[in-house]
Amino acid sequence: MDDQAMVRVGLRMILEAEADVEVCAEAADGAEATAMVAAHTPDVVLMDIRMPGMDGLAATREVLAAHPGTRVVILTTFDDDEYVYEALRAGASGFLLKSADGDTLIDAVRVIASGEALLAPEVTRRVIERFAAGSATVSPEEHVPSPEAVGDLSEREVEVLTLMARGMSNQEIAQELWVSATTVKTHVSHILTKLGVRDRVQAVVEAYDSGIVVPRG
């Protein structure tokens, strides 16, 4: 979903070159994007942030409120931390700059479609930590998460969530904790269920917002 026709044509060409990817619709603004999602219920939406009328942030909120099974990847030329963080808070599952190459774009769509979240890129980690740090009122040494924030998370699940917040993959977490990747996957599944979120990005945003995880200085 992008207001520039040439950008949409380029994205469609890249995506349709892949046998396992089908482009079902495109839109020039946020209102049209929400209508196209309602009509086609795609697995993944590539959403620009700045569009005429309803912008990408508002469209993301509306799409996910009406179609929680659809996942949104924010795709923009604006390497702006505030926009990215707000997009993640709105429910986006990932973020890519339009300067990313075709292989990166395809990989991102496949990752998001598989139910994962695009947390690995450095820009996403930087955004989450920067804006969470801006709202922190105590130092990491003084910080103790409230019982309400921790909820039903076990000590190990908090540990896994903290490593997720650093942008680690399941395999990297497994190596860090000396457990199997399958065990980590189980922990991640429990964390998502207990926090009431659908993917890793939202779990990390919730962890920072609620105080379960405090940004490193």
pLDDT of residue 138: 45
Low-confidence ranges of the chain (pLDDT < 70): 1-4, 6, 78-82, 117-151, 214-217
pLDDT one-digit tens code per residue, 110-130: 888 887 766 544 555 566 666
pLDDT of residue 48: 86
Which amino acid belongs to residue 216? R
pLDDT of residue 118: 66
pLDDT of residue 137: 47
pLDDT of residue 151: 66
- 203 touches 193 (CB < 8 A): no
pLDDT of residue 101: 86
pLDDT of residue 121: 47
102-138 burial: b if 16+ Cβ within 10 Å, else e: eeebbebbebbbeebbbbbbeebbebbbebbeeeeee
- 188 touches 164 (CB < 8 A): yes
pLDDT of residue 3: 52
Q: In the chain, what are the domains?
A: 5-118 (3.40.50.2300), 137-210 (1.10.10.10)
pLDDT of residue 79: 60
pTM exceeds 0.85, yes or no: no
pLDDT of residue 78: 60
pLDDT one-digit tens code per residue, 18-54: 889 999 998 888 899 999 999 999 999 999 887 778 8
- 84 touches 124 (CB < 8 A): yes
